[in-house]
Structure 1
Amino acid sequence: MTTLSPKTPGWLDWYADPSRPAFALPPGTVDTHCHVFGPQAAYPFAPERKYTPCDASRVQLFALHGHLGVERAVIVQATCHGADNTAMADAVRAAGGRARGVATVRPDVTDAELRRLHEAGVRGVRFNFLKRLVDAAPRDDLAAIAARIAPLGWHVVLYFEGADLPELETFFASLPTPLVIDHMGRPDVTRPASGPEFSRFLRFVDRNDVWVKVSCPERLTVTGPAALDGERHAYTDVVPFSRRTVEEFPDRVLWGTDWPHPNLTGHMPDDGLLVDHIPLVATTPEHQRKLLVANPTRLYWPGEGV
């Protein structure tokens, strides 16, 4: 019998009893950034992982989406599973056409494996530049992977810190695929949303084939989840960044929960509250429809009318 590894000390488990949101998600809403962890007994974690999480199965993910009113999902490979995409791909298959996947692959991935992932529903690969999660991000290898996936019509998902964009943007712009940026490039929300750092990020978006996930206020916040005036207005310090992105690029923004919220240390968010954050940043029904339904459908289910 396989011995299961204990969770990383201090690991915060996902919130098991989320509130029901006051904001009603429109029909066809897509969660474009969520993960599955194991379960470890069925899908072992990668030996080279930087953390050992709690289990977070596809059954539990689909139950959360039912509770929130989410109809479709994009399941992103978790770093704890390395380049073994089995748990993610099995979750995408189990969704019966209502999910797509984003994989992690190595340069020596075979054409047969890429075809298998495509048939499962994978439509992108993720390049991670956060040093606390990966040992290195060799650019030649990543460029080779991008060239391999471009003929499949896939895109590259980029995860990086906003402060690192100046040294990365030339490489990013050279990639031969559309780009999807996680969590608005992780801006420093203690600085103004109108300031030079975030403005540079938005100029990069404007000049390239880039989509932006307006996601993870719980990961970016300094002020935290406290409600404003007793209302469900949390993470207010992130709002100016998200709102500016939505207003400047309404046709290229995406939304996601980031469930089950890996590697948080300050608090574990209530996913119902994250849904109620949406109308603070997408303030009109048209912006909400584009953010939640039209844009992700166009990217992940092209050809469907929305």
Structure 2
Amino acid sequence: MPDYLPFDSHPRPPRPLPPASSCDSQFHVFGPRERYPVRPGAAYEMPAATIETALRLHRTLGIERGVIVQATTYGADHQVVLDGLAAAGPNYRGCANALALLECDDAYIARLDAAGIRGARFNRQGLGISMSQSDFARSIARIKELGWYAKFQPEAKGIVDQLALFEKLDIPVMIDHMGRPDPREGAASASLRALLELLKRGNFWVMLSLTEKVSHDGFPWDDVLPVAHACIEAAPDRIVWGSDWPHPVSVKQPPNEGDLVEQLYRYAGSAEMIKKILVDNPAAFFGFQP
């Protein structure tokens, strides 16, 4: 298993700080290893990135809400997320790994729901968890029963080859990482075009995240600006932002979170849109109190 680089340990506050009740709609928690064992066959393991460290980061950034997304590292065992939610309190929600819908009994799923988990994520194939078509259908049926959302991580080359999985779903769907188009292709990107078509429907949402890996030019990530602007224009009321901290499977030094928040400001372009993306939209999608 390769070694991946840890997060920037000296995050700086963004200038200015974001509005009150801002939400980091995707971050992960890892370790400590002696308490949360890695599942057999895991595709990767990260250096420790505990809930305590995540909450300190959020205080530095001016973030008051968040969504802990289960990493494939732990598979269907969600204890790291359950403990994280207990430590973080009522301003935080969770997103399960969809594998739990196949491997866990109803009592465990009810426990996840009671803890604040409101969705299930389907990961890209390269991360070691895949499903048959029948298992996928079973998972979606369970999501409908629970009233959860489905969340899809794009493949490294974008969502275009995944469309058959989710394009006809009628439940709330979150597409991560802007659909991961190649910004060098501009408006001709098949993944970007597919995402914009999905956003014409009222049940599809998109997350502005993974800027540093979507970009081919590197910091300050100017090449990603047109992608984000296209997403915002297509669905200003159905777009959120996530840090993706601690930036799993990074082979280059992960960015400073202050830079990522300020990049969002560049994406949004106005205080009104910043508030939509960081406060209003995630409150509506994840069920935070106004």
The TM-score bracket by the shorter chain reads over 0.9
Q: Which residue is equivalent to 1:229?
A: none
Identity of aligned residues (%): 36
Which of 183, 193, 197 matches 1:189?
Answer: 183
The match for 1:252 is 238
Distance, in Å, in 2 between the alignment partners of 1:50 and 1:162 is 15
Match of 2:108 in 1: 113
For structure 1, list consecutive stretches of 5 or more residues without a partner in the other structure: 1-7, 226-233
The alpha-carbon deviation at position 66 of structure 1 amounts to 0.3
Do residues 87 (structure 1) and 80 (structure 2) align? yes
In the aligned structure 1, how far is the partner of 2:193 from the partner of 2:143? 30
Q: CA deviation at 1:162?
A: 7.4
1:298 corresponds to which residue? 284
CA distance in 2, matches of 1:38, 1:197: 34
Counterpart of 2:52, as a letter, is V
> 1:169, CA displacement in angstroms?
2.0
The yes-or-no answer on 1:26 pairing with 2:19 is yes
Please identify, of 101-110 and 164-173, the stretch whose mean Cα deviation from structure 2 is larger: 164-173
Deviation (angstroms), 1:282: 0.3
The residue matched to 2:120 in structure 1 has which SS?
strand
Tell me the residue number matched to 1:42.
35
Q: Distance in 1 between matches of 2:259 and 2:234?
A: 25
- Among 45, 63, 67, the alignment partner of 2:60 is 67
1:278, distance to aligned residue in structure 2 (A): 1.2
Q: How many residue pairs are counted as aligned between the two chains? A: 288
Q: Distance in 2 between matches of 1:125 and 1:161?
A: 17
In our comparison, the structure showing a higher alpha carbon Rg is 1
For 1:299, the aligned partner's letter is: F
Structure 2 counterparts to residues 1-306 of structure 1, below 5 A: 8-104=1-97, 105-128=100-123, 130-161=124-155, 163=157, 165-193=159-187, 195-207=189-201, 209-225=203-219, 234-301=220-287, 304-305=289-290
Q: CA deviation at 1:23?
A: 2.9
Give CA deviations for 1:42-88 in whole Å, capped at 9, x if unaligned. 11111120112101100000000000000000000011111111101
RMSD: 1.7
TM-score when normalising by structure 2: 0.94
Q: Distance in 2 between matches of 1:149 and 1:63?
A: 32
State the distance in 2 between where 1:107 and 1:175 align. Answer: 19
Compared CA separation, residues 195 and 262, structure 1 to 2 (3 A): closer
Task: Judge conservation of contact 1:45–1:52 (CA < 8 Å) in 2.
Answer: yes
1-structure distance, mates of 2:2, 2:193 = 38
The runs of 5 or more residues in structure 2 that have no matched partner are none
Contact 1:150/1:176 (8 A) holds in 2: no
Secondary structure of 2:151 counterpart: strand
Q: In 2, distance between residues paired with 1:179 and 1:281?
A: 22
Deviations 1:201-225 (A, max 9, x none): 2102213511100111012111112
Cα deviations across residues 84-132 of structure 1 (Å, max 9, x unaligned)?
111011101211101100011142421111110011100000111x232
Measure, in 1, the Cα distance between the counterparts of 2:229 and 2:195: 14
TM-score, normalised with respect to structure 1: 0.89
